[in-house]
């Protein structure tokens, strides 16, 4: 429960399904329940020749909106976007459309705000019910809200995908027939060799803390606060995807540590296929939280 954030009933179910193997149960928890709903939409206001895409990601267990994105454009190619593509690709398409000629940036931001406000309101409560599906009646309040701002009736199409937390955390969909990666617990503290994993390595900066942990004392599994300072477009896109607001850091697990002469190279893991590297002086104190190792967890589990 401490390590995965699940409740007692979920922990008990995971243990039962995994034959009371704790290692397997911890890895199984994110795959047990389909609590993530992805709503991908496209719409047009024919009266104003406006076309748009929108994306809302909901957490049914916590009854909250995880992310809302939107783009509005005069370019009809925006409306040609397919709704049956993987949500990660759909969000990438949405961001790409923001850079196209004809996109109305200010209106796009307003539409995104309307989308976020709607899914954070009691009016959207039906979307957070388990097993609920998108129908025309459920979309009417949102269509009216968008239509008021965009100046005409909205033709809105939505597709709903339901995922488990493990699927949502994957940056890319798992290839069919490809086995899932082994537990990170078995690979922590190692550096991937050439060809071992197709990684995207981002440039990052650690957050200093005068009373924090010495960089040379960090261990694989610790949570360290980092900022993505990589100027590449893909890096900036991923920073937004991971929820990193401007000038704010993310708490991410340390994947591996390499110590040199007075210097430490830290690799952190953002998600499957995306890591970050930074080299800092070993005596630099950084903002970090120690995570309990397997021995400590067993002791707590057994009441020791």
- Condensed to tens digits (0 to 9), the pLDDT of residues 74-99 reads 999 899 888 988 888 888 888 888 88
The answer on pLDDT for 196 being more than 50 is: no
pLDDT at 180: 44
For the question of whether the overall pTM of this predicted structure is more than 0.85, the answer is no
Please state, rounded to an integer, the average pLDDT across all residues of the chain: 76
Higher pLDDT pick, 32 / 166: 166
The answer on pLDDT for 51 being more than 90 is: yes
In sequence order, which ranges of the chain are alpha helices (DSSP H)?
A: 8-17, 22-32, 87-97, 105-119, 136-150, 165-169, 184-187, 233-241, 294-301
Give, in degrees to the nearest 5, the angle at Cα 221 between 214 and 192. 105
The long-range contacts involving 178-186, CB below 8 angstroms and separated by at least 24 positions, are 181/272, 183/23, 183/27, 184/253, 184/255, 184/269, 185/23, 185/26, 185/27, 185/294
* Across 22-36, 118-132, 193-207, least confident range: 22-36
pLDDT at 53: 93
pLDDT at 188: 34
pLDDT at 3: 54
Higher pLDDT pick, 105 / 166: 105
Query: In the chain, pLDDT over 90 holds for what percent of residues?
Result: 9
Cα separations in angstroms, 138 against 61, 157, 281? 20, 12, 55
* Across 224-238, 267-281, 285-299, least confident range: 285-299
Mean pLDDT along residues 222-248: 77
The answer on pLDDT for 300 being more than 50 is: no
Query: In the chain, pLDDT over 70 holds for what percent of residues?
Result: 69
Confidence category of residue 236, pLDDT binned at 50, 70, 90: confident
Compute the distance between CA of residue 180 and CA of residue 197 in angstroms, rounded to an integer. Answer: 12
């Amino acid at each position: 429960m401490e390590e995965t954030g699940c409740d007692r009933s979920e922990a008990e179910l995971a243990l039962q399904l995994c034959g009371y193997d704790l290692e397997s149960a911890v890895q199984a928890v994110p795959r047990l329940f389909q609590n993530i709903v992805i709503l991908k939409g496209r719409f047009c206001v024919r009266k104003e020749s406006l076309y748009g895409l929108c994306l809302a990601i909901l957490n049914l267990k916590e009854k909250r909106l995880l992310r809302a994105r939107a783009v509005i454009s005069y370019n009809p190619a925006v409306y040609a976007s397919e709704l049956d593509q993987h949500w990660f690709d759909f969000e990438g398409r949405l961001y790409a459309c923001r850079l196209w000629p004809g996109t109305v940036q200010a209106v796009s931001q307003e539409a995104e705000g309307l989308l976020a406000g709607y899914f954070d309101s009691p009016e959207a409560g039906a979307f957070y019910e388990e097993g609920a599906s998108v129908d025309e009646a459920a979309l009417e309040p949102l269509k009216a809200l968008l239509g008021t701002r965009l100046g005409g009736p909205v033709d809105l199409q939505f597709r709903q995908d339901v995922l488990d937390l493990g699927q949502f955390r994957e940056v890319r969909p798992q290839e069919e027939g490809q086995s899932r990666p082994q537990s990170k617990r078995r690979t922590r503290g190692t550096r991937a060799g050439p060809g071992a994993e197709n990684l995207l390595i981002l440039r990052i900066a650690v957050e200093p803390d005068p009373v924090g942990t010495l960089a040379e004392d960090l261990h694989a599994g610790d949570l360290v606060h980092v900022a993505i300072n990589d100027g590449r477009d893909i890096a900036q896109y991923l920073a937004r995807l991971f929820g990193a607001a401007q000038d704010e850091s993310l708490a991410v697990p340390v994947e591996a540590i390499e110590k040199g002469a007075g210097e430490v190279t830290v690799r952190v893991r953002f998600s499957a296929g995306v890591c970050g590297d930074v080299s800092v002086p070993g005596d630099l104190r950084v903002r970090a939280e120690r995570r309990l190792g397997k021995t400590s967890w067993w002791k707590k589990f057994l009441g020791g």
